[in-house]
Structure 1
Amino acid sequence: MVLKLKQQNCSGAGPAPAVDTPTIVRGVIDEIRAKGDDAVRAYSEKFDKWSPTSFKLSQEEIQHIISTVPQQVLDDIKQVQDNVRAFALAQKASIQEFEMEIRPGVHLGQKNIPINSVGAYIPGGRYPLLASSHMTILTTKCAGVPHVTACTPPIAGKIPANTVAAMHYAGADDIYILGGVQAVAAMAIGTETMKKVNFIAGPGNSFVAEAKRQLFGEEIGIDLPAGPTEILIVADEHADPFTVATDLLSQAEHGYDTPAILITTCKTQGEKTIAEVERLLKILPTADVAGVSWDRLGEVIVVDSLDEAYKLADEYASEHVQILTQNPREALEKMSNYGALFLGEKTCVSYGDKCIGTNHVLPTRGAARYTGGLWVGKFLKTVTYQEVTSPQESGELGRLCGRAARAENFEGHARSGDARAHRYLNDKFEWIE
């Protein structure tokens, strides 16, 4: 049985899309492709009212900006980055290079090569997302990427000093105060003053996400298709409704389009959580945003058992799944579709967002059904190589290749195999004199 105490109300209040985002983004990209820096500057002036002599910060400017940041903020940035670095390096260590000899003289190998250059987009706008510097730039550098270009927009016409500090300590090689489509397009295409990158990572608004989508493939690789933040909580009757409500709202404040879902085995739990959410919205400073998401996309669902809860949660395939039950680690065995799991009352999604060390760039809109989140492996190309040193084995492989290729009517492929069978095993072929 599934009982919905609260359903989505997509007709509720909140900003509605009033622009053709793909067309606007395509126009910006095309103009930057044609006019380079001149177009970048024009769009920065238009969208951000920002047109400095140089968008790129010099090392002297970076050090001056960092000197304005409170020491406690700098200390916290370094501590969080220590956590992210430790986890990313452990991930890298888990990706093994190897070489094996599958037959005498037949060697196959795997090698991990960092991408040559990566562009990191660090959002601004409503919130300066320092954490995105850790998650994108630092993880990239842990993978061994030689050069990282990082862009972040000005906020209300000012340089976001805290963000610049985080970008610098994360290891960015070049830092630009530049935002939006113009930043993504400049990194992807390259201009007179900005080198083209091979890959772009980092979250952003709908325009940034659309720019990455349009540039993906032909110009660059990207981390993940971006979408609104999502939170889903699985709770039993023992969970604290105050904690459940607080954690739902912690993600709902991201924007007007954040699904915040509770699946519980206890109707009383669901009712108390709804009441707590309504109470907390009256005192939450970001209620003007969180309240819209809760009204439009909040759900509270009652099911008969935890097995049913896990099954339903898997169908949602949410970005963040928080488990508030007596045995939270059960979810590791019961669930398979999620961006990241947060196990137990002592753990919250905000830890993952801001400080614990795992990456907060995660799949949304059901993408968790087929991919995980951003990790150090995204910045490595896992390539293969092969070498045959045995004449006998090369000839035997030639015979096998000839038969396999002709079964597919690939005569040219077959003859490459024939040539080895002829040379090393003295096989005779009509086409070889």
Structure 2
Amino acid sequence: MKFLKSPVKKDYSTQYSLEEKVKNIIDDVKTNGDEALIKYNFQFDGNDRKLLSISKDEIDSAYEKVDKTLIEFIKAAASNIKKFAEKQKECIKPLDDFETSPGVFLGHRILPVSSCCCYVPGGGYPLYSTALMLAIPAKVAGVKRVVACSPASKETGSISPYTLVAMDIAGVDEIYCVGGAHAVAAFSYGTSQIKPVDMIVGPGNQYVAEAKRQCYGQVGIDFIAGPSEVLIISEEKGNPSYIAADLLAQCEHDRQSKGIFITTSNKLAQDVSVEIERQLNGLETRDIAEYAWENNGEIILVSSIEEACRISDEYAPEHLEIHVEDEDRTISMLNNYGSLFIGEYAAEVFGDYISGTNHTLPTIRASRYTGGLYVGNFLKVCSYQKINKKGVDSIGKAAEALALGEGLYAHAKAARIRLG
């Protein structure tokens, strides 16, 4: 393994300060409720609205501000996401009355969570596609109350019309104009205007991620999302234009985003470097993409695809693209990734928007232990047992003995009393 381009070393000295700032925001919201939300909305987003919920009139107005053709494309994306979520849900089945011992019947039920909040980022871009990715699987799962929130645009004092339209198409029940750590606190603990939820999903900036971490337990979460990342593996026949385009597409998210390229070909590595510089010229988001690539981008030269796969599994990337001849063999060597894009035509952008897989994916090596958001995140697999007298006779003495072995005498008695 040889690094042809390495990232700049990161400084994590400000992490403690971030934790303290977020803790103070959460405590303020818990104590002062809507007053704190309104204060932070104005402080961070210039949003001075007092009523946080979005009205139907605002949603209707948003449709008038969005190009009709784009609305149809949003609906097409929503349809694909829904179809895939429905197919995934079919794989999650209840289990009825499995008999482990005579008279002992076990099973599980599949139950949706009652409520969730879909956090849709604002920031530099109105990421309306995220509204689809979060709310549609929740709806397919059967969540009764699907809420969404997003920070206000500084220009309008309301949520971006693109985001409002996407939220409405996704079937969101309630929409609130609030973002940041204070929004996470509000939906975790509740305020006068905002009823708390059982689960919060969706990406956000470092304050949102830290707030989700601190509120976890009070509320369920999907995972802690960090800066977005893509890793591309390619042999010598890879297309440098495609690879460079996909790396820059990732880098333009924000200055912390990361693009990693692993290849068996020194020539392709050099060609991709040249192509990145060429494509940066004239790119509207060059200031962000170039900064992210220069500071976080990596190019790694390896001796084999096997080595590339081992390195990729160590990185455990959010998005993983493979541009190789023997796709099946390569896939068999890969275990850690949020979502896999197979072949040079399977660009990450298609998964981000329209193909139907979810783009809410684990970052910062979390794909070692979790996959991306899907309909199953909103479903609880809850076991049950049904035992008759025959069942008590078959397992009662064992239960009594096991309880006595642990010194739990009331447990033992609860078994013994049923044995008669």
Query: Normalising by the residue count of structure 2, what TM-score does the alignment of the two structures yield?
Result: 0.96
Q: Which moved more, 1:174-183 or 1:59-68?
A: 59-68
The answer to whether the Cα contact below 8 Å between 2:305 and 2:330 also exists between their aligned partners in 1 is no
Equivalent residue, structure 1, for 2:287: 288
Shift of 1:336: 0.4
Shift of 1:45: 1.2
Equivalent residue, structure 2, for 1:190: 190
Counterpart AA for 2:81: V
Shift of 1:329: 3.4
Find the aligned partners of 1:245 and 1:231 in 2 and give their Cα distance: 12
Find 1:407's aligned residue among 398, 405, 408. Answer: 405
Larger Rg: 1
Equivalent residue, structure 2, for 1:425: none
The answer to whether the Cα contact below 8 Å between 2:262 and 2:300 also exists between their aligned partners in 1 is yes
The answer to whether the Cα contact below 8 Å between 2:104 and 2:387 also exists between their aligned partners in 1 is yes
Equivalent residue, structure 1, for 2:136: 138
Find the aligned partners of 1:7 and 1:69 in 2 and give their Cα distance: 42
Equivalent residue, structure 2, for 1:176: 176
Counterpart AA for 1:149: V
Shift of 1:17: 5.9
Q: Which moved more, 1:297-306 or 1:65-74?
A: 65-74
Equivalent residue, structure 1, for 2:163: 163
Is 2:79 the partner of 1:73? no
Gaps of 5+ in 1: 423-433
Find the aligned partners of 1:285 and 1:71 in 2 and give their Cα distance: 24
The answer to whether the Cα contact below 8 Å between 2:102 and 2:394 also exists between their aligned partners in 1 is no
Find the aligned partners of 1:163 and 1:60 in 2 and give their Cα distance: 15
Equivalent residue, structure 2, for 1:5: 4
Counterpart AA for 2:263: T
Residues 120-131 of structure 1: pairs in structure 2 closer than 5 A? 120-131=118-129
User: What whole-Å deviation, never above 9, does each CA across 1:329-375 have from its counterpart, x for those lacking one?
Assistant: 33321110111110001101111111111111111111111111111
Equivalent residue, structure 1, for 2:310: 311
Shift of 1:19: 9.1
The answer to whether the Cα contact below 8 Å between 2:103 and 2:394 also exists between their aligned partners in 1 is no
Equivalent residue, structure 2, for 1:41: 38
Equivalent residue, structure 2, for 1:361: 360
Counterpart AA for 2:323: L
Shift of 1:152: 0.9
Q: Which moved more, 1:256-265 or 1:162-171?
A: 256-265
Gaps of 5+ in 2: none
Find the aligned partners of 1:281 and 1:19 in 2 and give their Cα distance: 35
Equivalent residue, structure 2, for 1:426: none
User: What whole-Å deviation, never above 9, does each CA across 1:46-76 have from its counterpart, x for those lacking one?
Assistant: 1111122412112232122223221111101
The answer to whether the Cα contact below 8 Å between 1:398 and 1:416 also exists between their aligned partners in 2 is no
Find the aligned partners of 1:157 and 1:45 in 2 and give their Cα distance: 13
Shift of 1:102: 2.5
Find the aligned partners of 1:60 and 1:268 in 2 and give their Cα distance: 57
The answer to whether the Cα contact below 8 Å between 1:231 and 1:248 also exists between their aligned partners in 2 is yes
**Count of residue correspondences:** 417
Equivalent residue, structure 2, for 1:429: none
Find the aligned partners of 2:167 and 2:138 in 1 and give their Cα distance: 12
Counterpart AA for 1:321: L
Find the aligned partners of 1:82 and 1:388 in 2 and give their Cα distance: 44
3-state SS of the aligned residue for 1:118?
strand
Find the aligned partners of 1:17 and 1:254 in 2 and give their Cα distance: 22
3-state SS of the aligned residue for 2:65?
coil
Equivalent residue, structure 1, for 2:151: 153
Shift of 1:109: 0.9
Counterpart AA for 1:249: L
Equivalent residue, structure 2, for 1:297: 296
Q: Which moved more, 1:278-287 or 1:35-44?
A: 278-287
Percent of paired sites with the same residue: 38
Find the aligned partners of 2:66 and 2:292 in 1 and give their Cα distance: 33
Residues 222-261 of structure 1: pairs in structure 2 closer than 5 A? 222-261=221-260
Find the aligned partners of 2:16 and 2:109 in 1 and give their Cα distance: 46
The answer to whether the Cα contact below 8 Å between 1:329 and 1:343 also exists between their aligned partners in 2 is no
3-state SS of the aligned residue for 1:192?
coil
3-state SS of the aligned residue for 1:163?
helix
Counterpart AA for 1:332: I
User: What whole-Å deviation, never above 9, does each CA across 1:163-187 have from its counterpart, x for those lacking one?
Assistant: 0000011011111121212222111
The answer to whether the Cα contact below 8 Å between 1:245 and 1:273 also exists between their aligned partners in 2 is yes
Is 2:61 the partner of 1:64? yes
